[in-house]
A and B are shown apart, each in its own frame.
Chain A
Amino acid sequence: MSHPDVPALVVVVPLLTGLLTALALRGRWAWAAATLSSWLVLALVLDLALAVQHAPGGVVSYALGGWAPPVGIEYRVDRLNAFVLVVVAVMGAVVTPGARLGVEAAVPADRLHLFWGVWQLCQVGLLGITITGDAFNVYVLLEIGSLTTYTLVAMGKHRDRRALTAAFQYLVMGTVGASFLLVGIGYLLQVTGTLNMADMAARLLEPETARASGRTIRAAFSLIAAGVCLKMALFPAHTWLPGAYAHAPAPVSALLASTATKVGVYVAIRFLYGIFGRELSFERLPTGPLLLVCAAVAILAGSLLACRQRDLKRLLAWSSVAQIGYMALGVGLASKAGLAGALLHLLQHALVKGALFLAVGALVWRLGAARTDDLGGLGRRMPWTAGVLTLGMLGLVGVPGTAGFVSKWYLVTAALEQGLWPVAVVVLVGSLLAAAYALKVIEPLWAAPEDLPPPAGAAAWGGRESPFSSLVLPGLVLSALSLGLGLGLGGPAQGLALAAAEDLVPARGGP
């Protein structure tokens, strides 16, 4: 680490620039500040992740304000949240520069500074949840992330008023979820007398704690599990997601789809494995089967519903519901390979969904909407955008050569290792269904334009590609990253995911 305060800076930098943006900057300058801050954050996070690799025990701890843990708030970065931090920071750093045109089209010019301020605060929340080692801090930052998210989603109102109702529904469900989490943390506080997550985990392991407060611990577990499921939009708590993603401005969907639910998954992993511990969560309580069933329904139903959508954003949103199912499935398998699969899927889905929503944003920017009926022959008119869409869809399917194949492989083999072949079949059938909705996009995209009626309003946009550097390039970068991870450059990512999984599920001699 180049400076001892780097962990704090990861959160402080976007917080300060966010406030500065909202108060002092206007228009395009606000966007420039957001971009710079996201790049700075990425540099800080990469620095931090490298430090974690070399730190003794793989943990970097930082006492906020100089108050040593467990009394003060601790920022604690181990391999698990280093992995997630990198994902969040990379997505922020790529999506923010690519969001400018889409946001300028969605938000009135005199409000842009407020939008970009909120955008950065949203990142504060997401990064903070991931980096902090304090349970109550998780709640507060989760709410910071959520409140800003509701605002960002509601910004879709200028194009589609349904963004407002979607944001409101999201707010109700998100607040209920966060409150469950708050109560659960309160129970844990009562049982353990601490809020520091590592400390909490240690005290929960003491046999007398378990004996004296078994029921309270189980109640805390249920409340926290319910809250986290709402936040990560796992079936049956997914209902807020399709509307929110479909009606938010496309750049907002790109940011949320690639980071917000991922952080939810991280919180689930942290609480299940890091605080309650694998033994309590999966051996004494039936979390595994429950998660697997929810995940299976999410994968199958989400994919099927995605197949039925005609609006591209809604299609991607339902596909997100399904993809979250994959991550939950990996978490529910409770093995090293399963957890590694979940983390890799988290990474690959962030990249792919980010790229896809950015590409859809480019379509919306040109065409005003993005329906599957409007895609006829776009491969010739907007080759770059169409290329990003195609690669992204192939990534969702998990075609070999994309990062999606890698995570699918880990999930399937993890399921088979435990003899859970129906789970493996669900994963594979899910990717087949993904192929069905991918085909719905890819087929018209590359069909000959003369076979299909021209898209609505084609005359107005003149059939030109979107502006390359501001709309197309970020999507391309993400696609390239996904391809790179799929084509053999993903060794370090897989190693990091496996190492993080091993920290949480220590090998216990034999499978």
Chain B
Amino acid sequence: MSPLLLALALPVAVAVAVVLLGERRRDAREAASLLGALALAWVVLGTLLPDVLAGREHVLEGPALIDGLPLRFRADRLALVYAGVAAALWLPSALFAAGYMRGHHEGHQTRFFACFALSIASAMGIAFSDDLLTMFVFYEALTLATWPLVTHRGGPAAARAGRLYLGLLLATSMVLLLLAIAGAWVHSGPAGARSLAFVQGGFLGEAPPAARAALFALFVLGIGKAALMPFHFWLPAAMVAPAPVSALLHAVAVVKAGVFCVLKVAVCVFGLDVVAVGVGNGWLLGLAAATIVVGSLVAMTRDNLKERLAYSTVSQLAYVVLGAALGSPLGALGAALHIVMHAFGKITLFFCAGAIDVATGRTRVSELRGLGRRMPWTLGAFTLGALSIVGLPPLGGAWSKWYLGQATLASDHPWLLGVLLLSSLMNTGYLLSIPALAFFGAPREEPGAGPPVREAPLACVAALVLTGAGSVALFFGIDPLVAALRPAREAP
């Protein structure tokens, strides 16, 4: 079996196994998730990655939904950025989820783990898709597979949030994105010679400039998962989901699917050169910059920890869109790196938020005063994650911001660097204030409080320490990553 097929099929197999094992054999069920995650990480990072780096391409052709447009998959470097992140972080998430769901006594755990695995399967499909239609199919699958997770808690509040989530994501993808894809198909060539397959450098070279600009706008706005304002409301709404969902899906898989698609479209549908000059990318740079700043501003005003992190995500995703919209190889490199760095940083933060919730039931920033001494591991990891998001060495986030900053300076819009710096400053304000409060604030003594607070379940702590350490490791291990992505970007 080809490793590519294995990467796509493994999470589906896990979902099936989870359903078959069910609630009665919950230990075996969680073991299936963990083993599946381990196997997927091995397939993607241990098999596909070395092969691709060695120049061996893996391609796969599936059934044709539309006559003449088969599902096509290809493992290339850019694909492995997203697939690698999703696969690598599934393992700690599965670990964390097992601890969290039991510690929190959540219901319907079988459905939860099955949908979780299906979401990963959809993410793999998006990552390895080799044409627009394939990408769209899995993009929609990801929306549908995550919807039961968002509404997992049940009740009217979750249902409302679920409707907003589904409504916004489907509205953008079904109307704008599908229109863009159909338009790209029609403009890709004369009847009979049309294609949707990704090509380095784009395949819309023959299209009239006005159509190209319109398509570009439709693509960028249609990929609602990138949470570009004003289509970002689904992301804070999705925070009603249990913490593992917020952590893996709404900090990593789903949102990164969005920005990954934007990046892929910029590189492989339009071509970076065209993005730089031929599609009127100015408005997009402005929108991305506005999203960066406004997202950070809103995050500063939120007291609910998860909501604050959600707006921080909105802001950070716009970095990736910005990098893609610059239309330069350096920008694309920065964007790809930021996908990785932000994933590790933000998942750590969400794990911490979940761990605090499980251990203490607290969800507000103002309630965390003095918690640092009770939960040193959790808040220590939180500090690492926050530093990475801010972009300070020795954490991975420093590199992506470095390359993005360079890219803005090299572009026609050097003022964007100011936006990046301003945002980093605001990140410091709203993220680092949290561990500061927790470590240095005086603990709040409540009369008649319950038993003393202790660290979260071991599974949770292990997961967040793992990803926090990952952020540090990424700082020191940046060279191979950059080396791997560079040639891909500079290829004609």
Interface: B136 (CB within 8 A): yes
Q: Which of B174-182, B296-304, B426-434, B457-465 lies on the face that meets chain A?
A: B174-182
Whether the pair B170, A412 counts as a contact (CB closer than 8 A) is no
Considering only residues 55-94 of chain B, those with a C-beta below 8 Å from chain A are 62-67, 70-71
Whether the pair B166, A439 counts as a contact (CB closer than 8 A) is yes
CB distance from B177 to the nearest CB of A (A): 10
* Residue in contact with A399 in the complex, picked from B144, B154, B179, B186, CB distance below 8 Å: B144
How far apart are the CA atoms of A421 and B214 in the complex, in Å?
Answer: 12
Interface: A72 (CB within 8 A): no
Residue of B at shortest CB range from A450?
B154
Whether the pair A417, B191 counts as a contact (CB closer than 8 A) is yes
CB contacts (< 8 Å) of B190 on chain A: these are 510-511
Q: Which of A95-103, A155-163, A274-282, A426-434 lies on the face that meets chain B?
A: A426-434
Whether the pair A495, B67 counts as a contact (CB closer than 8 A) is yes
* Chain B residues touching A, majority SS: helix
Whether the pair B179, A424 counts as a contact (CB closer than 8 A) is yes
* Residue in contact with B186 in the complex, picked from A413, A428, A451, A487, CB distance below 8 Å: A413
Whether the pair A487, B182 counts as a contact (CB closer than 8 A) is no
How far apart are the CA atoms of A202 and B344 in the complex, in Å?
Answer: 71
Residue of B at shortest CB range from A511?
B191
CB contacts (< 8 Å) of B65 on chain A: these are 400-401, 405-406, 486-488, 490
Q: Which of A78-86, A177-185, A235-243, A440-448 lies on the face that meets chain B?
A: A440-448
Interface: A216 (CB within 8 A): no
Whether the pair B154, A447 counts as a contact (CB closer than 8 A) is yes
Interface magnitude class on chain A: 35 or more
How far apart are the CA atoms of A443 and B185 in the complex, in Å?
Answer: 34
Whether the pair B186, A417 counts as a contact (CB closer than 8 A) is yes
CB contacts (< 8 Å) of B71 on chain A: these are 488
CB distance from B371 to the nearest CB of A (A): 33
CB contacts (< 8 Å) of B186 on chain A: these are 413, 416-417
Interface: B443 (CB within 8 A): no
Whether the pair A416, B175 counts as a contact (CB closer than 8 A) is no
Whether the pair B179, A425 counts as a contact (CB closer than 8 A) is yes
Residue among B66, B67, B70 with the highest chain A CB neighbour number at 10 A:
B67
Interface: B417 (CB within 8 A): no
Whether the pair A498, B178 counts as a contact (CB closer than 8 A) is no
Interface string of B128-159 (1 = CB under 8 A from A): 00000000110011001000100100110001
How far apart are the CA atoms of A399 and B169 in the complex, in Å?
Answer: 13
Considering only residues 493-511 of chain A, those with a C-beta below 8 Å from chain B are 494-495, 498, 510-511
Interface: B183 (CB within 8 A): yes
* Residue in contact with A406 in the complex, picked from B66, B154, B171, CB distance below 8 Å: B66
Given contacts A487-B63, A495-B67, A498-B67, contact A431 B154 (CB under 8 A): no
How far apart are the CA atoms of A435 and B171 in the complex, in Å?
Answer: 9
Interface: B107 (CB within 8 A): yes
Given contacts A413-B185, A486-B65, A488-B64, contact A443 B178 (CB under 8 A): no
How far apart are the CA atoms of A450 and B108 in the complex, in Å?
Answer: 12
How far apart are the CA atoms of A397 and B167 in the complex, in Å?
Answer: 13
CB contacts (< 8 Å) of B191 on chain A: these are 417, 510-511
Interface: A368 (CB within 8 A): no
Interface: B374 (CB within 8 A): no
Interface: A489 (CB within 8 A): yes
Interface: A289 (CB within 8 A): no
Interface: A491 (CB within 8 A): yes
Interface: A168 (CB within 8 A): no
CB contacts (< 8 Å) of A432 on chain B: these are 170-171, 174-175
Whether the pair B140, A400 counts as a contact (CB closer than 8 A) is yes
Interface: A409 (CB within 8 A): yes
Residue of A at shortest CB range from B134?
A400
How far apart are the CA atoms of A490 and B62 in the complex, in Å?
Answer: 14
Residue among B63, B65, B151, B170 with the highest chain A CB neighbour number at 10 A:
B65
Interface: B364 (CB within 8 A): no
Residue among A409, A424, A447, A495 with the highest chain B CB neighbour number at 10 A:
A409
Interface: B373 (CB within 8 A): no
CB contacts (< 8 Å) of B66 on chain A: these are 406, 409-410, 494
Interface: B163 (CB within 8 A): yes
Whether the pair A424, B163 counts as a contact (CB closer than 8 A) is no
Pairs A-B, 7 closest by C-beta atoms: A488-B63, A494-B67, A400-B137, A428-B175, A412-B182, A416-B186, A448-B154
- Which A residues have a C-beta under 8 Å from some C-beta of B? 397-401, 405-406, 408-410, 412-413, 416-417, 421, 424-425, 428-429, 431-432, 435-436, 439, 443, 446-448, 450-451, 486-491, 494-495, 498, 510-511
Given contacts A401-B65, A432-B171, A511-B190, 12 further A-B contacts (CB under 8 A): A400-B141, A409-B182, A412-B179, A412-B182, A425-B179, A428-B175, A435-B166, A443-B159, A443-B162, A448-B107, A488-B63, A511-B191
